A and B are shown apart, each in its own frame.
Chain A
Amino acid sequence: MSRRAVAAGGGRPARTGEDVLLDAFAARAAHALGTGLSITGGYATLLRERFAEPLGPDGEGALDGLEGGLDRLRLFVDDLLELTGLDAAPLLRAPLAAAEPARAAAGALAGPLTDASITVELGTLPDLVADPALLERLFHHLLRGALAAIGDGPGRVEIAGVRRPAGVRIEVTDSGPAIDAADAAELFQPFATPRGTGPATGAGVSMPIARRIAERHGGSVWAHTGRREGCTIVVLLPESSA
């Protein structure tokens, strides 16, 4: 099978002009949307607390729908906030088993993964030195990308890794639609179109966030293309970052 790798981030400056622009937009949008979302969600809560009886089952159902929509918006805003804060916190370096943050990320997404009938297979992952919280967020966003790509499911995600001379290489392979070289080149860039539009898509910045986390560790991330189906995202974290 022909496979072509499209790199994103390796050897590039940590912050491009587009990154800076995206951060500025994200900060402003998160603030404005967060306030509106807060007010809407807050009054939805008060409606449920104070008027559950007169609302009745139909009213409760309508509120469920409203809150489902608000949950999507919360994910959107929280993504933007995470993006704007990525470079602010100091980078911690701790020895850890990569399986731990991978397992934690999959556990935190158990609800949407189960809803979409997506199984996550955790293969062998090496030990490495990295920021534990950021590595969990890296896995979180790679899984979110897979969730969005697979959509309603069913589907499958495989996480595996190996130590290479260049560093620890982690692969996250999903059974979503294949991706061509042109799309793969854009996937990790600010304002890129995400691979899917499901509830897990959020602000559609999971892949740019994954790239930024890899780059903070001195690493890079890319997508394999040329496959008939599915997609593999590869993260390389150099040992020198340890």
Chain B
Amino acid sequence: MKKSKGSMQILGAAIVVATIAVFSAYLIYQNIPVFIKQDAERLAREYIFEMEQEGYLSAENMLSLKKELEDEKCKNVKITATNSKVEYGMHIYLNIEYDTVLKELSMEDGLLPKFKDKTITVPIPNKTISKCTS
């Protein structure tokens, strides 16, 4: 009887320890898409400010932006942008969309929580005015 009580206590303790570890890992995972989005927004910022001066996004720059986004772990990157030079005062845009994987906690099969992947599409819209005078 005493032995069984001890086993229950060990099992209880193991569940508490596992829950703390899983929850801690979950919070660490949650930072990853935040950092990816921060990097993607920083890149979008750099390119739209350059576009303001140039009046468009060249094909070369579009490829280079796509590569930089993929290097930052953005998946299925889609870029649409003003791709031919527009005059001063006309609007220019740079829209980025990419997929990112979120880790979600799921209790579907079993006692302990498990991680489940959920893919979401993140939009980064940017629109401003061309200041290109040349």
Do A and B pair up? The answer is no
